[in-house]
Amino acid sequence: MNRVSYHKTSIEDVSLIDAHYRRFAFERHFHLDYHLGLITEGEQRYYCRGSWHHAGPGQLVIMPPGETHDGQPEADQGYRVKVFALGAGWLRQQTGAEDHHRNTLACQQITDPGLYAQLSQCHHWLRQPELAQLAEDCLPLEAIGLLLARHGGRSVDCHTPLGRRQLFEIRDYLMAHLDQRIRLEDLSRLCQLSPSQLLRQFKALTGMTPYAWLARLRLEQGMALLRQGLPIAEVALQVGYYDQSHFTKAFKRQFLVAPSQLFATRH
């Protein structure tokens, strides 16, 4: 049986498809957005640009807007594919492209294990209901940034004007909003950078993504509040966790001890 599920993300121009096509053949068609398909099982056969192509597990197929193609399973077991549907305008913003009539990514089939792994992880995490907002904003930019750098036909500027002063401003902003949904756009406006520029430059300066940095900041502040004797449930809410259970799990993963055991031996 054919199975297809569609998923929205918090980024309007980024949506996901998870599909298993057993006996379904697409007629010739095109898209208004970019489709990036990760073949996870089986093999897809498709016609594009005057010839037939075959894509199997571990391969990425890129279909730009307006590219006429079809698709069908190569064998009876069908194929599974995870797809990113990306708005053309959003993708152009990640490269700073000014030519609105030129596709940022060409029609191509890519075998790149590192890129495939990052895109697969991104697709998985974007479907998790409890993913932090800042992570949901950053993950697509990270994965697409790697794709553009390796296969986009242009280099991505990694110059790092972000300095320690701006980093402290970001820290102060995060500390004042730990219990709120924090967007990458909020931080980029603070530094007068685009979201993709901030993500690249933040990683170059700190060695961490903004959402990983925020996750650690929340736990460090949680530790400080626990030292003050605040109840665990109250601490969890103050540092931005859904509830005590999620805070406890994250705390134990990082510090190897549960919050309830933190000062259990203290007299």
- CATH classification of the domain holding 10: 2.60.120.280
Phi, psi of 241 (to 5 degrees): -95, 155
If 0-12 CB within 10 Å is exposed, 13-18 middle and 19+ buried, where does residue 139 land? buried
Q: Is residue 213 part of a domain?
A: no
pLDDT the model gives residue 147:
94
Domain that holds residue 201: 164-207
pLDDT the model gives residue 159:
53
Are 111 and 69 within 8 A, CB to CB?
no
pLDDT in tens, 148-195: 989 986 554 545 578 888 999 999 999 999 999 999 999 999 988 889
Instruction: Output the domain CATH number for residue 228.
Output: 1.10.10.60
Is the entire prediction scored with pTM above 0.95?
no
Q: Which two tokens stand for residue 1?
A: 């049986």
pLDDT the model gives residue 264:
56
Q: Is residue 130 part of a domain?
A: yes
User: Is the same domain home to 114 and 33?
Assistant: yes
- What's the whole-number mean pLDDT along residues 97-112? 76
User: Is the same domain home to 257 and 198?
Assistant: no
Q: For residues 239 and 236, give the distance between their C-alpha atoms in angstroms, rounded to a whole number.
A: 6
User: Is the same domain home to 241 and 117?
Assistant: no
User: Is the same domain home to 147 and 19?
Assistant: yes
User: Is the same domain home to 28 and 119?
Assistant: yes
User: Is the same domain home to 37 and 91?
Assistant: yes
Q: Is residue 216 part of a domain?
A: no
User: Is the same domain home to 32 and 135?
Assistant: yes
User: Is the same domain home to 34 and 98?
Assistant: yes
User: Is the same domain home to 122 and 244?
Assistant: no
Counting the structural domains of the chain, the total is 3
Q: For residues 263 and 261, give the distance between their C-alpha atoms in angstroms, rounded to a whole number.
A: 6
Q: Is pLDDT above 90 for 97? A: no
Q: Is residue 266 part of a domain?
A: no
The whole-angstrom distance between residue 45's C-alpha and the CA centroid of its chain comes to: 28
Are 2 and 20 within 8 A, CB to CB?
yes
User: Is the same domain home to 54 and 138?
Assistant: yes
Q: For residues 169 and 213, give the distance between their C-alpha atoms in angstroms, rounded to a whole number.
A: 14
- What's the whole-number mean pLDDT along residues 46-61? 95
Q: For residues 223 and 255, give the distance between their C-alpha atoms in angstroms, rounded to a whole number.
A: 10
Are 222 and 251 within 8 A, CB to CB?
yes
Using the Cα atoms of residue 47, residue 110, residue 196 and residue 178 in order, give the sign of their dihedral. Answer: positive
Q: Which two tokens stand for residue 63?
A: 């279909």
Q: Is residue 86 part of a domain?
A: yes
